[in-house]
Amino acid sequence: MASTADIKNGVVLSIDGQLWSVIEFQHVKPGKGGAFVRTKLKNVVSGKVVDKTFNAGAKVDIQNVDRSDYQYLYNDGESFVFMDVKDYDQINVSSTVVGDAAKFLLENMNVTVALHDGTPLYIEMPPSVVLEVTYTEPGLQGDRSNAGTKPATVETGAEIQVPLFVDAGTKVKVDTRTGDYLGRVND
């Protein structure tokens, strides 16, 4: 067992049977009373963020989480298949673990997969991806009723908002965290 002195950003703790990643931590030594460690924790499965305070010197259960680079191969209908870029081992990751990242996942894309005892916990996408717009209505130059944006479907099937001047066949850069349009990409 480790103590609160071992808490650092990115460390994964096991609390009440759930895994929590440390986002922020601060060692506090008030003038009166005992020292403590204030943390902000993120549940690695659900993404929920909570604040938790530990007394200094308290025992914490630090878990080993391996983050490795994987390449997305295909979706077999039940799960997503990824290949380790180092040893070419393939793993199946359920759609619940992949979550919203599936909207921007292209074949042969490199991602980071976090594993705990061989079980995939979550995948980390690159901050942005380049996708081709497969369908969008033509933009009318005088139409400003919707702040100059229109819905567009990209090659992964996700729907995003793009400016009126973007047409089908245009490659666009998309933020994988929010789904926001970041700009056009020239080949």
Q: Is 22 exposed, middle or buried (0-12, 13-18, 19+ CB in 10 A)?
A: buried
Q: How confident is the model at residue 95 (pLDDT cuts 50, 70, 90)?
A: confident
pLDDT at 139 exceeding the cut of 70:
no
Determine the topology of domain 128-184 in CATH: OB fold (Dihydrolipoamide Acetyltransferase, E2P) (2.40.50)
When pLDDT is averaged across residues 45-72 and rounded to a whole number, the result is 90
Q: How confident is the model at residue 36 (pLDDT cuts 50, 70, 90)?
A: very high
When pLDDT is averaged across residues 169-184 and rounded to a whole number, the result is 91
Q: What is the CATH number of domain 2-63?
A: 2.30.30.30
The partner residues of 52 in beta bridges, in order of sequence, read 39
Instruction: Report the run of H or E that residue 38 belongs to, with start and end.
Output: strand 36-43
Specify the pLDDT at position 69: 93
Instruction: Return the CATH number of 66-124, one of 2.40.50.140, 2.60.120.620, 3.30.230.10, 3.30.420.40.
Output: 2.40.50.140
pLDDT digits (tens, 9 = 90+) for 50-63: 999 999 889 999 98
d(CA 103, CA 22): 27
pLDDT at 26 exceeding the cut of 70:
yes
Domains 2-63 and 66-124 share a fold: no
What are the sequence ranges of the domains in the chain? 2-63, 66-124, 128-184
Specify the pLDDT at position 134: 93
Beta-carbon-side half-sphere exposure of residue 108 (alpha carbons within 13 Å): 1
Specify the pLDDT at position 144: 58
Which amino acid appears at position 25 of this protein?
A: F
Q: What are phi and psi of 97, to 5 degrees?
A: -75, -40
Specify the pLDDT at position 52: 94
Q: What are phi and psi of 5, to 5 degrees?
A: -65, -20
Specify the pLDDT at position 145: 54
d(CA 106, CA 126): 12
